[in-house]
Amino acid sequence: MNDILSQTENIIKGLHQDSMMLELEEKYRCIEGKKGDDEQEEEEDEEEIEGEVERVFSNHYVDMGKIDTVGFDYDYTLVTYTSQLLELIYSMALQRLVQNLQYPPSMLHPDSNMTFDPHFSIRGLAVDRETGWICHLSYTHKVAVAFEGRKRVSRERLEGEYRGKRSLRPSERRQRLKPLNDLFSMAECCLIADVIQFFTDHNIPFCPRNAVVDILSAIGDTHVSGDFHRLVASDPAKYFEPRPHLEGVLRGLSSGGKRLILVSNSPFWYVDAGMRHVIGNDWKDVWEAVIVSAGKPRFYTDDARPFRLVDEDTGQISFEKITRLEPGKVYAEGCLKELTKCINWTHSPPPSPPQLDYITTTTNNSALPTTQTTELSSPMSLTSSNVLYIGDSLFADLVDAKRDFGWTTAAVVPEVSSEITLQRRGEFTNSQHIIDLLLDTLRRIQIEMGNGVRTPDDIRVMDGLERMVSLWREEQNALLGNPFGSIFRAQYQPSLFAHSLRRYCDLYMSNVSDLRHYSPQHRFYPDDARLLSHETEKVDSECWDFDEII
């Protein structure tokens, strides 16, 4: 039986090598300049991948024609950052640990190698406060993969820590696991792992819970103090990525009849610096309301937090009572309940089709349409599916908006484009073919084995093939370039991040700029909303409703 398994493994390895050779030969032909059908096919493939990564994906039916208000988050939504920002946050927090909390000064020495590693962390992880482990959770809340420092935790230790089933009770989960969901938290995650690795390597006794509290507070302080904001604002070209299509997207939505609101947790001067950099000095013209220092998710849940007017020159906030938000002005704090009172919006009929070409972009900011004024009849209730909110942080931006107010939600998930691009690479597709082949073999030999009791040889064949599947899957994971694998898969099951994305977000996209490919009246039909095995295999009809968003 071992011979059969090792022969099978050799055949599969041979197939993989042959397919890699074919791919290399194809590349060689292209390099040699043998332009022809193959090269044209490659160009078409590239266009197809571009179309795929610049797509807006839908989990539910969404009729953009019914959307009358579009809200945007700022950080990692309207503006995106170069990896230098995460390096900056990491190093600032590390300095705080050493200077304010007496962590070993040698942590700052170049030999310690303590710098942000963009290839370690991914989004959607959680830190276990008890152990300091960085955990990747599946959709059933099981810890599928964990790292203690930079070392992977063995399956035996995982099962020991999480009572065999690798799942915690909901109350334990809330107490122990701190989600690291937004893009800023990549620095947090890496710093926790590196500090714990440093303590372990240097035999320094430590309490994981204290270390996690210290690190989270050091990272939090870099945000609250405004230290990194000041550095970023002073050198925007270094930290903000260019956003050539952003203005066109905002103008297209506005000319398509949507009212735009900006709700950011960042202070005004920081939002202003970024928006001036990516759009221009007149960036405020397109917005019906600009709200800063909003404190999301508290912004959604608080019901008595008034808005405060921000002086755009001095940054001072005024003491006067705000009863109405005016376009062109900037407001701080507030809450959703106040917003419903302070904005003179009424439910309007579906907007008429746009008069301007949606895709056209312009650098002439004066061409931005002026904001509409609407007579106040009754305050618009923002408990409405006609509001679309777009943000990158599932829990700060989108969960409350969806769960408590029924807003239509869209998540910005840049990992979609990077993972799709990778999954189209030859190495990845070849290993996927082999995995499919092995899984198909497993299903077929099980039919051959019948429904009787399995012999020890039967079990060895099944175990051996399953092991091969796991090894090929690990090979695929390695291609993703980080130790946790896909953000959408925890080990090989859907991740908690993917599950939350599915549950709380109607739409998702790699980049807000992807919206430029769609009409402001576009109707998004989900590709497939079937959940159960028998439906995906046997039932052809799709299962989503046109009225899902209501």
Query: 256 vs 391, which CB is nearer to Mg ion?
Result: 391
| Minimal distance, residue 23 CB to Mg ion, in Å | 39
Give the x/- contact pattern for Mg ion in 376-415, rule: CB under 5 A: ----------------xx----------------------
| Minimal distance, residue 392 CB to Mg ion, in Å | 4
Q: Are 506 and 403 in contact (CB under 8 A)?
A: no
Identify residues 517-536 at the interface with Mg ion (CB under 5 A): none
DSSP 501: H
| Minimal distance, residue 397 CB to Mg ion, in Å | 6
Query: 392 vs 419, which CB is nearer to Mg ion?
Result: 392
Query: 137 vs 183, which CB is nearer to Mg ion?
Result: 183
Q: Is 72 in the site for Mg ion (CB under 5 A)?
A: no
Query: Other C-beta atoms within 10 Å of 235: how many?
Result: 11
Range 37-54 burial, b when 16+ CB lie within 10 A, else e: eeeeeeeeeeeebeebbb
| Minimal distance, residue 146 CB to Mg ion, in Å | 26
Query: 74 vs 358, which CB is nearer to Mg ion?
Result: 74
State how far the Cα of 275 lies from the Cα of 284, in Å rounded to an integer. Answer: 9
Q: Is 73 in the site for Mg ion (CB under 5 A)?
A: yes
Q: Phi and psi (nearest 5°) for 495?
A: -80, 165
Size of the site for Mg ion (CB under 5 A): 5
Query: 414 vs 464, which CB is nearer to Mg ion?
Result: 414
The closest of 163, 179, 168 to 141, measured between CA atoms, is 168
Query: 143 vs 263, which CB is nearer to Mg ion?
Result: 263
The closest of 387, 390, 392, 388 to 416, measured between CA atoms, is 392
Query: 264 vs 521, which CB is nearer to Mg ion?
Result: 264
Q: Are 38 and 29 in contact (CB under 8 A)?
A: yes
| Minimal distance, residue 75 CB to Mg ion, in Å | 4
Q: Strand order of the sheet with strand 134-137?
A: 151-152, 143-148, 134-137, 125-128, 177-180
State how far the Cα of 256 lies from the Cα of 215, in Å rounded to an integer. Answer: 45
Q: Is 148 in the site for Mg ion (CB under 5 A)?
A: no
Between the alpha carbon of residue 61 and those of residues 51, 204, 495, 550, the distances in Å are 20, 54, 23, 10
| Minimal distance, residue 246 CB to Mg ion, in Å | 15
Query: 76 vs 508, which CB is nearer to Mg ion?
Result: 76
| Minimal distance, residue 73 CB to Mg ion, in Å | 4
- Reported in sequence order, the residue ranges of 191-345 that DSSP labels E, i.e. its strands, are 259-263, 289-292, 307-309, 330-333
| Minimal distance, residue 386 CB to Mg ion, in Å | 23
| Minimal distance, residue 263 CB to Mg ion, in Å | 10
Characterize the bridge pairing of strands 387-391 and 330-333. Answer: unpaired
Query: 75 vs 338, which CB is nearer to Mg ion?
Result: 75
Q: Is 75 in the site for Mg ion (CB under 5 A)?
A: yes
Q: Is 128 in the site for Mg ion (CB under 5 A)?
A: no
The two structure tokens encoding residue 432? 């996927």
Binding range to Mg ion, per CB under 5 A, among 71-79, 207-215, 349-357, 526-534: 71-79
- Give Cβ neighbours of residue 187 (< 8 Å, ≥ 6 apart): 86, 87, 89, 90, 93, 116, 121, 219
Member of 61, 76, 345, 488 binding Mg ion (CB under 5 A): 76
| Minimal distance, residue 77 CB to Mg ion, in Å | 5
Binding range to Mg ion, per CB under 5 A, among 27-35, 75-83, 426-434, 442-450: 75-83
Residue closest to Mg ion (Cβ): 75
The two structure tokens encoding residue 333? 């704090």
Q: Phi and psi (nearest 5°) for 235?
A: -140, 65
Which residues contact Mg ion (rule: CB under 5 A)?
A: 73, 75-76, 392-393
